Structure formats: structure tokens, C-alpha cells
Amino acid sequence: MRRGLGPILLCLLIACSESFLPASAVEDLRVIGARIDIEGAPGRANPSPDDDLQASIVVIDQGATPPLTWSLVACVPTATRIGVPICGTLIDGCDGCVGPPPSDPFAFPVVRFQVPSAQVLDAVEATEVLLQGVVCGNGSPSAEALARIIAGETNDLVPCEGPAILEGQPVEGRLITVQVPIERDPEDPNLNPEILDDISLNGSAWPPPYAESVPRDEPLTGCSAALEGLTEADRAKHPVAGSPPSSINLAVTSDSLQSFTIDDRDFTEEMQVSWLADGGGFEVSFSFITDPATSILTQWQPSSNVPEDGRLVRFNFVTRDGRGGLDRVERGLCLLPME
């Protein structure tokens, strides 16, 4: 099968860095995916007409993620065939399209809306619905930028503006377009892949205290204090600056790679894995899991210089099935100075 980013395409409409950093290097605000879940149908990735869906936008940064604000619209695209899709008919009743809610100023974007009827979609030959708009870190969405992206104008846009929520920190912004495919076969629907929890580091279980996730407000430096209560064996699993590459093994469930049929041709999904870290470097930015395999191994090289009190490295692993399904997990390691 042709390898691609899949039908849920998250378009980051920003210029590439002049330093040509690999895609795996997280050095600023990044929107790395959108997890779609269907109400009343656990596991399903793609909605049918009239379904209620939830889109969870995954946002990361180097270090702690800043306070986020966003302004999005849900819509049925116009019948364009090339380029970034353009909103046509707006979908009413989008819950969470503007945020964060007053009750949770540190929320991440989670949007809910109902997919239009088959009649509305068929009228414009729509095979997907869209989420388009602006996600800001430490600033506020620009009303002008939102209006222009909805109109299909994406050049020379400044998505976010001040004043800064946290003084002394930059205002960052990203324009996003999330394409949500309509389910082709409701009798055999596409499901989200599932990453197994037991991601291994150098052949052993991922060490605490970041073996399941990393607290959002955990600072970039000073993580050595978080290791003080660990056993000597668990502490030794955290890498030292300049040490040899560490191997990371990720696996998905056996039923994550689904079989499906298009135009009487049978296929099996090929799982794309995105490796992301805000420190050190991966040997590759992307890998692929191809049936019958269900796991993949990669190498991560620790940085050579770290502060005396340690440097927290956040890892994000994202799997995409090429048809709209997505899963993501986060892990962390404390990179320690050489003794």
C-alpha cells in the first residue's frame, strides 16, 4: 500500500524552520493530531451521517504546554478537488469550538458536534467533514485569521495575538485543518488503533515516575528530584547525557491492523508511527508497522549536555492507520548529567 499520512490530515499551515529540524524534534508549539471518537460506538474512528462525534486535538510543546485558547468551526467542505479543503456549509451546535471553558483555563481543545444528514452531505458529494481554525499558546485567536482560513486564504496569516497570558513568554499560534472521513462501511467500521501500555526502554519496562504520562506543568529542568524515591534499578534506567542510544519498542494490539475492501480489492492497514521528543534525537521521525508485525523498534540518542539537576524529556508516540484512526501516548525520561 502507498504510505501516507492518512485521510485525517492535520495541516499545520506554518513555514518550515530554517534549521531544517527533523519532524521528530519538538522545539515549539505543535498540533500533532486529532483523535475522533463516536458517541455510543466505542472504538470507532469515522462517523456516519447524523452521528455525534468528539474530536480531541492533541497539542504539545517543548516543556510544559502553555495556556491554550482556540477558535474553530465545524463544516461541510466545498466540492474542491485540490489543495487544502475549504469550508462550505457551517455545522451549527459545535460544543467546545471556542475555548477554553471558564471552568478550566488549562483545558486542551475537545470539540463535539453532530455530523449532518446523508442528504446534506450528498448534495455536495462530501465524503468528509472538517474542523478548521486557530489554536494559540499564551495568546488569543485572531478573528481576521479565522475568517480568512475559513475562506480558504492561508498566506501571510498571523493566527494569534497578544497580550500574552503569561508575561515574558512568547505568543504562538497554529492554523489547523482536520479532515474527518465519513465511514465507508458502517457494517465493518474503521476503528482507532490502540497502543499497548507496556512500551519498553532498552528491553525493560519504562521506568517511573513518567511511565504512564507526564504532568502538564512539570518543568523542563530539575527532574532529578523526582527520582529520589526510586529504587536504584529504576533510577539507573534513566539515561545519562552523552550515553549510547536507547532502544524504544512500541506495540499495538493485534486487531489494530484491520482488513478492509475498496472497489472489490482487499487491503490490510499499515500503521504509521510518529516518534516525537522535546530533547535528544530519534534515528527516524516515522516508522511503519506492517502486518503480520504488531510492534516496531527505534533508537533515541540522548543529548550530550544537561543541567546539573537533570533535564526532563517528553516523548509522544502517535499511531495512524491511514484511514482516520489515531492513538497517542506520552512518556518521559529524566536525562541526568554525567557523574
Query: What does the block give as the cell for 158?
Result: 498571523
Q: How far is CA 135 from the centre of its chain?
A: 13
Same-domain check for residues 164 and 220: no
Residue 161 placed within a domain: yes
Query: Each residue of 297-306: pLDDT tens digit?
Result: 999 999 999 9
Query: Each residue of 143-155: pLDDT tens digit?
Result: 999 998 888 887 8
**Residue 97: what pLDDT?**
97
Residue 15 placed within a domain: no
**Residue 14: what pLDDT?**
31
Model confidence at 22, in pLDDT bands (50, 70, 90)?
confident
Residue 146 CA to residue 156 CA, distance in Å, equals 13
Amino acid 271 reads M
Sign (positive/negative) of CA torsion 37, 43, 47, 51? negative
pLDDT at 9 over 80: no
- Which residue is listed with cell 492507520? 321
Q: What domain count does the chain have?
A: 2
Q: Which phi and psi (to 5°) does residue 57 adopt? A: -85, 125
Q: What is the DSSP letter of 264?
A: T
Same-domain check for residues 207 and 146: no
pLDDT at 18 over 50: no
Q: Which residues touch 45 (CB under 8 Å, ≥6 apart)?
A: 36, 37, 38, 189, 190, 191, 192, 321, 323, 324, 325, 326
Same-domain check for residues 312 and 250: yes
Model confidence at 85, in pLDDT bands (50, 70, 90)?
confident
Residue 191 CA to residue 188 CA, distance in Å, equals 9
**Residue 140: what pLDDT?**
97
- Percent of the chain at pLDDT above 90? 84
Residue 192 placed within a domain: no
Same-domain check for residues 300 and 172: no
Residue 230 placed within a domain: yes
Q: What is the pTM of this model?
A: 0.91
3-state secondary structure of 232: helix
**Residue 20: what pLDDT?**
57
Query: Each residue of 91-140: pLDDT tens digit?
Result: 999 999 999 999 999 999 999 999 999 999 999 999 999 999 999 999 99
Same-domain check for residues 73 and 162: yes
Query: Average pLDDT, stretch 266-282?
Result: 97
Which run of H or E residues covers position 148? helix 143-150
Query: Average pLDDT, stretch 313-336?
Result: 98
Domain housing 315: 200-335
3-state secondary structure of 226: helix
Residue 297 placed within a domain: yes
